[in-house]
Structure 1
Amino acid sequence: MSNTSGKVSSVLVPASFSRDMLSLDDRKSTVGFPKGAGAMVGEGVLLTLGDDEGSSRSEVGLPNALRSLFDSVFLFFLSIGPDGSSSSESERRGPRSKEGDPEVTASTSSTFVQASHGLSERLETKVSSNELAPMSGKIHNNFNGWGVTIYDALDTMWIMGLTEYFEEAVKVIGEASYTTKPKQYVPFFETIIRHLGGLLSAYALSKDPILLQQADRMGEMLLPAFNSESGLPAYAISTRTNATRGGWTGNTLWAEALSNQLEYKYLAHITGKPEYFEKAERCMQLMYEANVTDGIFPTQWNTKTGAPSNNKFSVGAFADSAHEYLLKQWLMTSRSETKIKDLYLNASKSIIEHLLYITPNREMLYVTDADMLKPSPPKPNASPESPRTTTQGATSTPSSIPSGTFEHLSCFLPGLLALGVQTLDLPESEKEIHSWAAEGLAYSCWLTYADMKTGLGPDVMSMKMYPKNEDGLWLPRVEKWKQQGRSGRPPGLREPGAASEKAGRDYTIYNRSYLLRPEALESFYIMWRTTGNPVWRERGWTIFQAIEKYAKTEIGYASIVDVDKSSTKAPVKDEMPSYFLAETLKYLYLLFTDEEIIPLDRTKGIRWIHVPFETFLEHKPPVPTLQPQQGQSPKINSFLRFPEDEYVLSMSLRDPTDRREMPANTNVYVTANCIRGVKKVTPSDWRSYMISCNPDIIFSLSDIPFTTPPYSQKRLTKSIERSALWLAHMLHSGPDSTSTPSNVFVQMVGGASAPARTTFAESLVEVLHGKEADAIQPRKCLDEGVAGYVFDMVPLRLAIEGVQGLSPNHSTIVSLIQASLLVLPPNKPRLVTSARGPHEMLLLIREVGIDLFDTYWAQRAANIGVALDFSFPAPIVTGKRDLGHNLYDTKYTRDFTSMMGNHDKDSAGICLCAACSPYSTPSPEIIRHSSMDEPDKHRDSSDSPNPPYTKAFLHHLLHTHEMSAHSLLAMHNITVMDAFFAGIRGLISHNSASIFEAEIRRFFETYMEDTDDMSRMEPKVFERAEKAWGEVELLRGKGRIARETERVKAESAVAANEVLKKEMEEKGAEGAVNVPLASNGEVMM
């Protein structure tokens, strides 16, 4: 929020803050980082980054209500946000599950090591290693000869903490050139999902720059595949000549068309190259415009025209991943692009209506494919009461001829439906149907495993069908069950037992192989995570044991030829597909680990709101009337309309962004600025106010001088004594322990004196005695009641300037903060307010271990007309860049690009803020104030993307003094900062100080700041913007007529200058002469 909108400031954090973070395990320092750095990596909870599980933190905890979750899900190809913990007793990066058996994760990790061992031995001698033949030890040269397995399995290595394997693989990848032999073509679809997806997934986890460079190179080399007449990708491409060729169908498969958007859109985001986004989005545009019925997208599309070329509807081969990418694309856009969501909803609705059947005996719910018959047109005598049917039997809905085939590939569907139920705001009736479909399908997938003698599922089955196909449709049977009173479980969810005899199975096996596929385990993992039902873990563990028993070889794991053989050792194939390491083992591992390693769902954005209490001091009584809560004390959240389960809300007395001088404090009261002047607040009043408001975090009163420095030693001593005394008063136990405030953040005082700052810190950890100890029982010292430490940079800089007479250099600031932290425990959050931009933030994280920052700098940029435009890690570009755009500058008058333009049209970044990516959303209901109010029939706001607000438009708003300009800029700038902090979290989770340091250097080299002189710490674009802002405000104060007069004078002066230049040129003068103008626009003679 911009400061123009009130005194509510936001806090953004490099490691997202959550309500339960203060009650979790001890914070550990990362190897190579200062204590505290990156302790909150994990986007939502405080996670351990050190050795083994140590002592618990102090008894201060926020309500266990919020997890700040990032709004993107990449379970299929892109996984974001490992916890980054590293155990000295284990190779595993992920924490042990609190609910599952830790031996399970150790077993799956060991299985990965075993399966990849035969391949890793060959990395040194065969850079082109592809897929391992687990029986013979040979290498199958599949998929281009580009080493598909190490690419596909990169994220699994990272998640399991197999650092040695990961680093060795990155070295091999860094040497790859991705060239092809003459006349060789690489399959576009397979290369995207295995190679490029593997690179981007691993980069999202590790932020290793080699992976980004190689992903950019590969993405660019594959891009010509989109150069068809329609924009649909070709089957294969030569990276040597850019020539393309079609597949055996002569068409583009639906999976080929729609299984590249996650990769290319994410690549566009991290490289700033819009061509990646545009090529992938063109395929989506064809889907939006396609002439299909109710989301029934056929499996083949004409590559030239972009139109459907068959009528087969499927979720199996040719189509499977496209369905996944629809939902996950929508999630990747922060749930903003409703067109994609609608494609998913329409497609899933048609799947449930046309492709879900049950078998006649066991009532197994399965999904098949079908040939869809086009609807017949209504006859002239159609019944108006029943528009979907006619009296002649014609129908306006398609009918289908199901094949009865049930593929293992289709077992991803229950997981996808469950994910949709969790992330989509579905009506209750639809949520119920989707949940039932997910559960029934997942059980049928499990049943195909349990029925087999090996305990492993066959690849393809032919399901027994009713004599009349329509009698087996699942949805009508569910509707009939509802009408009959909902007795028992719904059809398809009654869970028949395993059938070892073939006659009782309700299906015959068409392909008896088990190809180490991941789809069933992927769905079990998502079902476990979305329902919490441990039965999915148990089924996953049973499958894992069967894999160990039948598929394991001396150097890997082999595919099974016949899953229903009764012999103790089933026949195997000499094949281990890359997806076994990339997906099958990954989902098994995640099924038994702490869910926060890869959270299913994360909400991006502001989750900590800070409110200065001085806003309320003008009112009587100051504490507003709060709405009571059932079984709990009322909270200020309800009054401010911030949902308690979504936002952490903190309060301080003073506004940390207010820099005006105020009267000095006394031993009795603290002063605060209000609209009508200064108010005095006693420590008792402050404690009472905070108990009544009940915020999640309280900033204790502190005696930070707000008068002109320098400060005497006596004044510093008073500041220390008062601040400690006021903190003790806040922590006073009182007669009722429930009335003692918890989660108190203390502002560190001591001015520019390192000894004074250390003295204050010592007063916090000093064990108290006598009455002082009795007052804060059961605590033994003040610090036991402290949840975090606050460093306000503005008074600190003023104090340094007062002592030194110069602008404070960075080393001085760091030494003073370190003096405060010297004796304090390292396991509590450290918040810095009013930092001067990303350069200072990066250095404070690196050198002091700061965890949290406020949005003061981003809001200030919005107030002076600067649109931030940077990222961390920095993009791979040549030359220097500004941190943003001074939109007061006249060069933006006709710049119609979005604010995240990265300074040139060829490298535009992607910003998902409401200003750069505005998507209108439907109102839940139309409120009509009179009979004259009618909805606009010509405007559909449910799925129409609006164009982004351009720099030219913002430039116009700023020059016309529209407050909306600052609001739009604030939304944009906070989003940029949020992404900046996410990048920091990702690098710290890599647990490598050298990589983090290298990326900091590259950030300084990329963005225009003087690395040799950090004393100014003020971006140059700010200086230019403040100057322009001052000039515009000066004109604003002169009134409209005066401004118009100045404009006319300036234009006349420019015209006179041009005439003079022309005259002198005609007289033979060399070059044009710049005639100086006075400030009023007149020519100076």
Structure 2
Amino acid sequence: MSNTSGKVSSVLVPASFSRDMLSLDDRKSTVGFPKGAGAMVGEGVLLTLGDDEGSSRSEVGLPNALRSLFDSVFLFFLSIGVRRFFFWATEVIVDLEEEAPGVKKPLGFSDKLVETKVTQSERLETKVSSNELAPMSGKIHNNFNGWGVTIYDALDTMWIMGLTEYFEEAVKVIGEASYTTKPKQYVPFFETIIRHLGGLLSAYALSKDPILLQQADRMGEMLLPAFNSESGLPAYAISTRTNATRGGWTGNTLWAEALSNQLEYKYLAHITGKPEYFEKAERCMQLMYEANVTDGIFPTQWNTKTGAPSNNKFSVGAFADSAHEYLLKQWLMTSRSETKIKDLYLNASKSIIEHLLYITPNREMLYVTDADMLKPSPPKPNASPESPRTTTQGATSTPSSIPSGTFEHLSCFLPGLLALGVQTLDLPESEKEIHSWAAEGLAYSCWLTYADMKTGLGPDVMSMKMYPKNEDGLWLPRVEKWKQQGRSGRPPGLREPGAASEKAGRDYTIYNRSYLLRPEALESFYIMWRTTGNPVWRERGWTIFQAIEKYAKTEIGYASIVDVDKSSTKAPVKDEMPSYFLAETLKYLYLLFTDEEIIPLDRTKGIRWIHVPFETFLEHKPPVPTLQPQQGQSPKINSFLRFPEDEYVLSMSLRDPTDRREMPANTNVYVTANCIRGVKKVTPSDWRSYMISCNPDIIFSLSDIPFTTPPYSQKRLTKSIERSALWLAHMLHSGPDSTSTPSNVFVQMVGGASAPARTTFAESLVEVLHGKEADAIQPRKCLDEGVAGYVFDMVPLRLAIEGVQGLSPNHSTIVSLIQASLLVLPPNKPRLVTSARGPHEMLLLIREVGIDLFDTYWAQRAANIGVALDFSFPAPIVTGKRDLGHNLYDTKYTRDFTSMMGNHDKDSAGICLCAACSPYSTPSPEIIRHSSMDEPDKHRDSSDSPNPPYTKAFLHHLLHTHEMSAHSLLAMHNITVMDAFFAGIRGLISHNSASIFEAEIRRFFETYMEDTDDMSRMEPKVFERAEKAWGEVELLRGKGRIARETERVKAESAVAANEVLKKEMEEKGAEGAVNVPLASNGEVMM
């Protein structure tokens, strides 16, 4: 963040802004949520929620950044491996009764058709005994432990499709599961993770059903000993009875097995607060970081004992497919913050494109194959240093490959992965171009293998025709040659030859003629449609769906096809229906034809809303910085502060909402603001011109909020209401053009501690104006039509209540006063609270008055006094009470080398991925030595994952040495914790009833109640302890404002006493009274 203003605070958005609120019918009492905002931004207008009959909607033009903020904040979409959709704090609407508006569907398509097919299959698969259905005989295949794999694998599909009845039935069955095994039975780790555990976690992330979390935690703990190898790589199978492990047929760990657990276990650590889940999975990633691989190429087999590669085969097929996906999606799961993971993905993708992408000689089909990689031979002594890639003796310095020519259906996930990377990574244009072409060409080849077949369904494995010289078929050199020759036509591999029969020549032979109901091609078609917008991918998906219906459908399910190129009208089928058919194949088909906003792919960034108090700029003359307009657009303050306009929403108020100092009284003509060099006065005309010049995304109107000592008289409250309304009208005054009229104005609600006064001010906002007053704000009829949201500043509100009651304000009083302001206002505009006192108060304000926005005042205040926050919502399933954070001034943290969100007992609220806590970031050696982390400690466990970059011990040291960096690191961490807290609220509200939300609030209070001494104040005890410790450190060091103030008062008192003594001595006529000796501290020496 820029520190230009010195007072910059980020505003975060909690759960109320949920797209799912559209289905709550204006949050009426039948649902149980309070009326509040819950707005969703459409194309350029703020669409406020009315009832289902279509009530009036306010239209307020909003910038792109704010549109993203209100639309689907913190939406996190992930596809786990090749087996799973995975949603983290997501907001989804699925309504099968209405077709998505504006969606062009293929001729004859019907949502009901897909729904019917899925419903038939789901009904069959939600039986207690179901594992995998035999769709011809009706028998049950007891695959994958006998734990009912289809129920688990299809859970999220049921939820996304709105099949509530079947979902609830499945959850009931899962809640009764015991996960027993026979005495000598071993559970396959990889398959159980991606089907059972992944199914539980994805369904929990969507529904927040505690049964799913309980069973996921139980299963995760049962499978965890699979990581207990010498290297930390997971074993092929584990006995859940004895924790004994068994290796697979290769004797090694396949790369897909090594990494296809990262998202599941790291998310499980996040929601249970158990770091051991994270640490075991992360140990596998550390092996990847440290591996001695060539040119970013990860081989398919790894030695389970040493953790080193054990072969030189590179593939994106059966032994490695999902590992590639987990690289990109882990990076996305960390809010795009962990560069090490991103680099692994980029290096691996680069190697795939360079070494594994080929084209066929006749049809120029682009395909990806396996290859044996030959390590580069060392250069001869007389090798030329001018040629790093080829030496004069012919020795190569980059690896060469021997391709197999095999093209697997499993590899058809790759075009979707590359397209997702183009969508989410900030790639250079040249790389983006290559990745996009590779995605498109590979996706088309996958489609062609379907279109070529007589059934319209793709074979499982093909052997592609190759050039006599392997290197002649490499795709990338051909693309570079095409570029050099002027880019005529489409790039090689993207020229889209038509379908061909076997006689006409397809450039491949079929190796495995089966269609196993696999999802990979449809997965890529879905992502290609979503990232390119090209409807051809929908059309191709629809064609495949029709072929599935024609050839795979049975009376009770869908069967795999034996030979996809048979000429008969009914191809022979296998009596098997894998669980992934419901978990993925039908899910991707469903999503391919539903509203594209159901699961946005591009909402993976956190909120970046920055609030800047303008009072800092008042020190300068003129106060408004010089802003450069950009290509016909109004200049924006964002560019001056170096906040990218398309990523940050920037709001401005005159005063810092967190400033507790008393301010001189306002007058009818100006407002006062505290600045570094004293008090400044700002007129409403000045404020309006400043805001037009700065053009922030949101403007706080001037409000006459008293900051002097209460109580306030009725006359003062009346004056406050009149001035605030008058100044708002001045801000909304219609100018000669649209650019001279500020938009997106948030009004600060006034009225002090008087409920009638607060209601009076609200009524003045909705009162229809007449005459000159109405002319001044045209075309609006009342002030509220120009208001985008409402602000409740808790600092002056608490001061007002204390002045009236003489006591600390209790929560019920605060709620009643806020409700008094909202009585006559529309329920569909955002409500922002500044300076809330902790998560308890925030939860109650969300529940009782529908507050939508909070600032990070509390998190930053905690950082200022040395508190590292450590809590989550929903609260972890644990026994006993917990603190909301750690007072790092406490001496018990002197030797605590854990991260700020964790401790020796491993009962932290979760895993924090901020830059100060993340184990991916490594501090410099100087920091390690400075913090004494190199000294041995009895609490340290050598088997744990690498140390976090900044530990509690190091932060404790920084605080006691008065280093400002401690507070910066704490602020970084605390805001991340609040971010996750709000995401948890949104995820719970989005898909649950008010009763579940209420139950989770109670559980949060029970878990963290001990940390709150007086629920009327909502102030945690950890703050009192930290503030006391902070003060003691300041005094002991003799530095800081407390020490300086104490010394100043002491010196002034000594001088005053000296003056009194001198005067008394003069009056008595004493000699030498003028020269009274003083000590160095100013005291009289007697």
TM interval, shorter chain, is: 0.7 to 0.9
SS in 1 for 2:353: helix
Asked if 1 retains the 8 angstrom alpha-carbon contact of 2:873 and 2:981, the reply is: yes
Give the conservation status (yes or no) of the 8 Å contact 1:29–1:37: no
C-alpha change, 1:740 and 1:390, in structure 2 (3 Å) is closer
- 1:963 and 2:974 are equivalent in the alignment: no
CA drift at 1:444: 0.5
Structure 1 residues 375 and 40, CA gap change in structure 2 (3 angstroms)? same
Larger mean CA deviation between 775-784 and 848-857 belongs to 775-784
Is the partner of 2:10 in helix, strand or coil?
strand
Cα deviation for residue 797 of structure 1 reads 1.5
The answer to whether the 8 A contact 2:194-2:261 is kept is yes
Check whether the contact 1:883–1:1019 (CA below 8 A) recurs between aligned residues. Answer: yes
- Structure 1, residues 875-904: CA drift from partner, whole Å, max 9, x if none? 112111110011111111221111111573
Change (3 A) 1:465 1:88: closer
Contact 1:30 1:50 in 2 (8 A): no
The Cα shift of 1:844 comes to 0.6
Shift of 1:651: 1.0
Change (3 A) 1:832 1:72: closer
Task: Give me the whole-angstrom Cα distance separating, in 2, the residues matched to 1:256 and 1:953.
Answer: 37
Deviates more, 1:53-62 or 1:796-805: 53-62
Per mean C-alpha deviation after superposition, the further-off stretch among 41-50 and 414-423 is 41-50
How much has 1:813 moved relative to structure 2? 1.2
8 Å CA contact 1:39, 1:48 repeated in 2:
yes
Is the 1:19–1:65 contact (alpha carbons within 8 Å) kept by the matching residues of 2? Answer: no
Distance 1:361 1:813, change over 3 A: same
Tell me, yes or no, if the aligned pair for 1:42 and 1:597 is still in contact at 8 Å: no
Q: Which runs of 5+ in 1 are unaligned?
A: 82-86, 112-119
| Conserved? CA contact 1:153–1:582, under 8 Å | yes
1:969 Cα deviation from its structure 2 partner: 0.8
TM-score (norm 1): 0.87
What is the CA distance between 1:663 and its match in structure 2? 2.1
C-alpha deviation, 1:189, in angstroms: 0.5
Between the aligned partners of 2:1068 and 2:243, the Cα distance in structure 1 is: 58
Deviations 1:940-966 (A, max 9, x none): 999999842111111111112111111
Q: Classify the secondary structure of the residue corresponding to 1:672.
A: strand
**CA distance in structure 2 between the partners assigned to 1:146 and 1:936 by the alignment:** 44
Q: CA deviation at 1:991?
A: 2.8
Q: 1:1041 is paired with a residue of what secondary structure?
A: helix
Change (3 A) 1:1067 1:558: farther
What RMSD, in angstroms, separates the aligned Cα atoms of the two structures? Answer: 9.3
Shift of 1:461: 1.3
Aligned 8 A contact 1:373 1:399 in 2: yes
Residues 61/968 of structure 1: CA separation in 2 closer, same or farther (3 Å cut): same
CA distance 1:846–1:77, change in 2 (3 Å): closer
SS across alignment from 2:665: coil
Shift of 1:344: 1.9
Q: Is the 8 A contact 1:370 1:401 kept in 2?
A: yes
Asked if structure 1 preserves the Cα contact closer than 8 Å seen for 2:1012 and 2:1019, the reply is: no
Question: Between the two proteins, what is the percent identity of the paired residues?
Answer: 98
Match of 1:338 in 2: 339
Which residue of structure 1 aligns with residue 76 of structure 2? 76
Are the structure 2 counterparts of residues 536 and 800 from structure 1 closer, same or farther at C-alpha, using a change threshold of 3 Å?
same
For 1:393, the equivalent position in structure 2 comes to 394
1:668-691 superposed Cα distances (whole Å, 9 cap, x missing partner): 222222223222222222212211
The Cα shift of 1:484 comes to 2.0
Contact kept in structure 2, 1:77 and 1:193, CA below 8 Å: no
User: For structure 2, which runs of at least 5 residues remain unmatched after alignment?
Assistant: 82-94
Alpha-carbon distance, 1:915 to partner: 1.3
User: C-alpha distance in 2, partners of 1:1037/1:540?
Assistant: 73
Alignment of 1:1061-1076 (within 5 A): none
Q: 1:824 to 1:906 in 2, by over 3 A?
A: closer
Tell me the alpha carbon deviations over residues 109-137 of structure 1, each in whole angstroms, 9 at most, x when there is no partner: 856xxxxxxxx887899524112223333
Render the CA deviation track for 1:278-300: whole Å, top value 9, x for unaligned. Answer: 22222222223333321222222
Q: Is the 8 A contact 2:122 2:166 kept in 1?
A: no
Alpha-carbon separation, structure 1, partners of 2:1066 and 2:980: 54
Cα distance change of structure 1 residues 918 and 255 upon mapping to structure 2, 3 Å threshold: closer
C-alpha contact (below 8 Å) 2:867/2:1023 kept by paired residues: yes
Offset at 1:441?
Answer: 0.4
Bigger Cα displacement from structure 2, 789-798 vs 924-933: 924-933
2: distance between equivalents of 1:808 and 1:1021?
Answer: 20
- Provide the secondary structure at the position in 2 that maps to 1:68: helix
User: 2: distance between equivalents of 1:1067 and 1:570?
Assistant: 124
Contact 1:133/1:576, CA 8 A, preserved across alignment: yes
How far apart are 1:303 and its partner, in Å?
2.2
Q: Does 1:427 align with 2:435?
A: no
- Structure 1 stretch displaced more, 159-168 or 592-601: 592-601
Contact kept, 8 Å, 2:13 with 2:854, in 1: the verdict is yes
Change (3 A) 1:511 1:886: same
In the TM superposition, residue 53 of structure 1 has moved relative to its aligned partner by 8.1
CA-CA distance at 1:988 after TM superposition: 0.5
**CA positional deviation for 1:74:** 14
Deviation by residue 1:974-1025 (Cα, 9 ceiling, x = unmatched): 0110010000010011131121111111111111347895212101100111
- Cα distance change on mapping 1:1039 and 1:748 into 2, 3 Å: closer
- Report how many aligned residue pairs link the two structures: 1072
Q: Deviations over 1:539-598 (max 9, x none)?
A: 222222322333233332222222223333333322221111211122222223344433
Distance in 1 separating the partners of 2:1071 and 2:530: 78
- TM-superposed CA distance for 1:276, in Å, is 1.5
8 A Cα contact 1:92 1:160, kept in partner:
no
In 1, are the aligned partners of 2:26 and 2:35 still within 8 Å (CA)? no
SS in 2 for 1:790: strand
Q: TM-score, normalised by structure 2?
A: 0.87
Q: Deviations over 1:615-639 (max 9, x none)?
A: 1222222221111111211111111
CA deviation after TM superposition for structure 1 residue 496, in Å: 0.9
Please state whether the residue corresponding to 2:1010 is helix, strand or coil. coil
Contact 1:97 1:594 in 2 (8 A): no
Q: Offset at 1:57? A: 2.6
Cα distance change of structure 1 residues 817 and 223 upon mapping to structure 2, 3 Å threshold: same
* Superposition deviation, residue 200 in structure 1: 1.3
In 1, the alpha carbon distance for the partners of 2:773 and 2:1059 equals 80
SS in 1 for 2:907: helix
Q: In 2, distance between residues paired with 1:155 and 1:1048?
A: 66
923-932 or 247-256, larger mean C-alpha shift: 923-932
Instruction: Identify which range, 70-79 or 755-764, moves more after superposition.
Output: 70-79
How many angstroms does 1:49 deviate by? 8.6
Which range is displaced more, 770-779 or 120-129? 120-129
The CA deviation at 1:231 is 2.0
| Distance in 2 (alpha carbons) for counterparts of 1:925 and 1:515 | 57
User: 2:19, 2:72 within 8 Å by CA — same for their partners in 1?
Assistant: no
Alignment CA distance shift 1:53-1:263 (3 Å): farther
Q: Distance in 1 between matches of 2:851 and 2:106?
A: 29
Contact 1:41/1:988 (8 A) holds in 2: no
Quote the offset at 1:77 in angstroms. 9.7
Instruction: Give yes or no for contact 1:921–1:942 (8 Å, CA) kept in 2.
Output: no
Deviations 1:469-510 (A, max 9, x none): 222111221222222222211111111112245433111222
**CA separation of 1:58 and 1:906: change in aligned 2, threshold 3 A:** closer
Structure 1 residues 953, 171: CA separation in 2 closer, same or farther (over 3 Å shift)? Answer: same
**Residues 158 and 1052 of structure 1: is their aligned pair in 2 closer, same or farther, counting only changes over 3 Å?**
farther
Contact 2:74–2:983 (8 Å) recurs in 1 = no
Q: Could you tell me which residue of structure 1 aligns to residue 562 of structure 2?
A: 561
CA separation of 1:401 and 1:25: change in aligned 2, threshold 3 A: farther
User: 1:94·1:160 contact (CA, 8 Å) conserved in 2?
Assistant: no
Secondary structure at the aligned position of 1:985 is classed as helix
Paired position in structure 2 for 1:633: 634
> Structure 1 344/1048 Cα, relative in aligned 2: closer, same or farther at 3 Å?
farther
Deviations 1:706-751 (CA, angstroms, capped at 9, x unpaired): 1222222222222222211211111111332331111111111122
Say whether 1:511 aligns with 2:517.
no
Shift of residue 425, structure 1, vs aligned partner: 3.0
Deviation at 1:36, TM superposition (A): 2.1
Contact 1:317 1:409 in 2 (8 A): yes
Relative to 1, partners in 2 of residues 1:498 and 1:69: Cα closer, same or farther, differing over 3 Å?
Answer: farther
Q: 1:818 to 1:288 in 2, by over 3 A?
A: same
Distance change >3 Å, CA 273–CA 1080, structure 1 → 2: farther
2-side partners of 1:466 and 1:1047: how far apart? 88
Aligned-residue offset at 1:218: 0.5
The change in CA–CA distance for 1:176 and 1:1053 in structure 2 (over 3 A counts) is: farther
Once the two structures are TM-superposed, the CA of residue 92 in structure 1 deviates from its matched residue by 10
For the 8 Å contact 1:189–1:259, the answer to whether it is kept is: yes
**Deviation for aligned residue 1:853:** 0.2
Question: Is contact 1:919-1:943 (8 Å) kept?
Answer: no
Distance 1:784-1:319 versus aligned 2 partners, 3 A rule:
same
